[in-house]
Amino acid sequence: MSLLEVANLTKSFSTRRDFLGRRTGWTHAVKDVSFTLDAGECLAVVGESGAGKSTVGRMVLRLIEPDTGTVVFDGEDVRAAKPARLRAMRRGMQMIFQDPHSSLDPRMTVEDAVIEPLIVHTDLDRATRRARAQELLDKVGIGSRYLGRYPAELSGGQLQRVAIARALTLEPKMIVCDEPVAALDVSVRAQVLNLLRDLQEELGLAYLFVCHDLALIEVISDRVMVMRSGEVVETGTVDQIYTAPSQDYTRQLLDAIPVPVPRAARPAHPA
């Protein structure tokens, strides 16, 4: 059985109300999306803006309530869980957000941010918590001298590492990564992606990797799910998608990736 089984997930948002106050102007952000994720696997959810990929990620964690559909994580129904049970379930499924400067509370130190999950879910004492924080920061490549610093004092790349450390605190089985490197500089992206890959191998993590940049996906994913306007266009292994995409849209996306080879010097484009 897969770690995560998602079936017929649907979500619509309304932005307008008519004169009677009823909601109108529904946008179907996600339409009937289904997929599975195995333990230790990385499934990339790719698409352009408005494809609904972020919404899917958030629905899996039930940060947004799906309209219909089922989400089963580790054998348990996420949608049916009562609030207390849901909070407990969150130990196993964590999230890393796009902009580390806003996903970390600016008024909390690095240490506070990383150990917060421990405060919420366990009753370890302060010393143990601090030791764990140091251990985690080491793992993500941040020195323990940053424990007492505030987010404003760190760079984007460093902060994202802190966010990753925070996500690892409770030893989750799955992490939903929502565009984790989009807000980072190019040279830093490689560092963070390598880190995510290494952690996956070391800890056997499963990733639901939401990303708009097809070029990045190959480095870290096993399987790819292409979305467009809320629907799944195509799913396949990384090799399948890159070398033999079956859908035109996928091909369009692949072609549009800017290739860092100056035009004049490019060989003739293979058919």
Note whether 220 binds another protein by CB under 8 A.
yes
Q: Which of 262, 268, 269, 271 binds another protein (CB under 8 A)?
A: 262
Q: Pattern of binders to another protein over 19-58, x per CB under 8 A?
A: -----------------------------xx---------
Note whether 97 binds another protein by CB under 8 A.
yes
Cα Rg of the chain (Å, integer) = 20
> Quick one: CA torsion of 31, 249, 196, 75, rounded to 10 degrees?
30
The smaller minimum CB distance to another protein, of residues 80 and 119, is found at: 119
Distance linking the first and last C-alpha atoms of the chain: 40
Q: How many CB atoms lie within 10 A of CB 78?
A: 22
Give the integer Cα–Cα distance in Å for 7 and 33: 6
Q: Which of 39, 124, 147, 188 binds another protein (CB under 8 A)?
A: 188
The smaller minimum CB distance to another protein, of residues 1 and 102, is found at: 102
Give the integer Cα–Cα distance in Å for 201 and 188: 20
Residues near another protein (CB under 8 A), total = 68
User: Which of the ranges 19-27, 70-78, 112-120, 123-131 carries the binding residues for another protein, by CB under 8 A?
Assistant: 112-120
Mapped onto helix, strand or coil, the DSSP state of residue 113 is helix
Classify strands 68-73 and 76-77 as parallel, antiparallel or unpaired.
Answer: antiparallel
The smaller minimum CB distance to another protein, of residues 99 and 135, is found at: 99
Q: What is the DSSP letter of 152?
A: G
Distances (CA, A) of 228 to 21, 170, 245: 31, 34, 15
Note whether 256 binds another protein by CB under 8 A.
yes
Give the integer Cα–Cα distance in Å for 159 and 108: 12
Q: How many residues does the chain have?
A: 271
The smaller minimum CB distance to another protein, of residues 8 and 246, is found at: 246
Note whether 252 binds another protein by CB under 8 A.
yes
Minimum gap (Å) between residue 64 Cβ and another protein: 10
Give the integer Cα–Cα distance in Å for 76 and 233: 27
Minimum gap (Å) between residue 216 Cβ and another protein: 5
Interacting residue ranges for another protein, rule: CB under 8 A? 48-49, 61, 63, 87-88, 90-91, 94-95, 97-99, 102-107, 116-117, 120-121, 150, 152-153, 155-158, 163, 166, 185-191, 193-194, 197, 212-216, 218-220, 242-243, 252-267
